[in-house]
Amino acid sequence: MTTPVAATGRFFCADSARIRGDSMAGTASPGVVWVLIEHRGGWPSTGFDGLELEAGTKALVLAAARTARARVLLVRRPGPRQSRGPSRWAVLRHQSTGAYQQLWGTWARDGDLADIVPALASPGMPGYPPVILVCAHGRHDPCCAVRGLPVGRALGERWPEQVWECSHIGGDRFAANVVVAPDGVYYGGLDAKSAVATVEDHLAGLIHAEFLRGYTDLSPPQQAAVVAVLDRFGPAGRNDFLVTESLREGDYWHLHVTGRPPHPAMIEVELRARREPATQLTCRAPAARSATVYEPISIRSS
């Protein structure tokens, strides 16, 4: 779904990013722990921080999330809003071994959310299917609603038990944005058709470079290196390529990536970091900003 800027007279950051050809590689927000809180009403522009909740409970949850370096997201099911039954919460945790863990609970009163605090200190349980998060936070950025809502509906029809709309996850200009958690994989620039195909391949163990923003457990240049490797050697599983060394020399990055068979065992990637001209990066940005792009210079395998 597109809304050409010239045709509407409004500024849409996602349209402008596509016109400029902004690179998505290396733009996944860092983090390996997520707190999901189902909230079926309207979402404030600041997400969970802006909810009118019992102050003590809210402070406990935010403090525990900061200690765990967790991201707190509001979630709801795509489609018509449901009003019956208790709401759910979850703590999702990425593990470098690939044994991702989750804990789920319910809440009907504000005080019930205090159960999130011990959950953040718990290792969680393996065996759950991944959660598919689609940013649809229109009060934060209009593009997230314009592009995210139809993607959420399409994914929700295909995987109704795994898909949630979520509050702001970063990278509004790359809407529609999808995060597969706790795998820790960000995708961007999706529409309904490409989102279903991308998530279908992801769940089958194949991550493609085309819509990949990056992995949340890696730094931006490491993310960009993995995207470049996938672009060169084709789709692979979440842990088939591992960044084992990163060296910076001025504007240049030299990264070593190891691959699992049948992929190359050792890959050397050279990137050049450059600043893009300052521009309005989000729909409601108060000022122009310059983004950093990590451009592949060379990729050598052995």
Structure tokens at 133: 């998060």
- Spatial CB neighbours of 192, under 8 Å, sequence gap ≥ 6: 1, 150, 151, 153, 154
Identify whether the C-beta of residue 262 lies closer than 8 Å to the C-beta of residue 301: no
**What is the model's pLDDT at position 255?**
98
pLDDT tens digit string along 113-161?
999 999 999 888 888 999 999 999 999 999 999 999 999 999 999 999 9
How far is Cα 170 from Cα 128, in angstroms, rounded to an integer?
25
Other Cβ atoms closer than 10 A to 125: 11
Q: What residue spans of 107-219 are helical by DSSP H?
A: 116-120, 142-158, 192-203
Q: Which two tokens stand for residue 269?
A: 């990637």
Residue 18 has pLDDT above 90, yes or no: yes
Instruction: Report the predicted TM-score, pTM, of the whole model to 2 decimal places.
Output: 0.93
Residue-level pLDDT at 9: 61
Binned at pLDDT 50, 70 and 90, residue 185 comes out as: very high
Confidence of residue 7 (pLDDT cuts 50, 70, 90): very low
For the chain, the farthest-separated pair of C-alpha atoms sits apart, in whole angstroms, at 58
Cα dihedral 175, 181, 185, 187 in deg (nearest 10): -20
Reduced to 3 states (helix: H, G, I; strand: E, B; else coil), residue 6 is helix
Which among 87, 90, 106, 91 is positioned nearest to 40, based on CA atoms?
87
The dihedrals phi and psi of 92, each to the nearest 5 degrees, come to: -115, 135
Contact present, 120 and 154 (Cβ < 8 Å):
no
pLDDT surpasses 60 at 103: yes
Torsion, Cα 262 197 43 122, to 10 degrees, reads: -30
Angle of CA points 225, 292, 32, to nearest 5°:
60
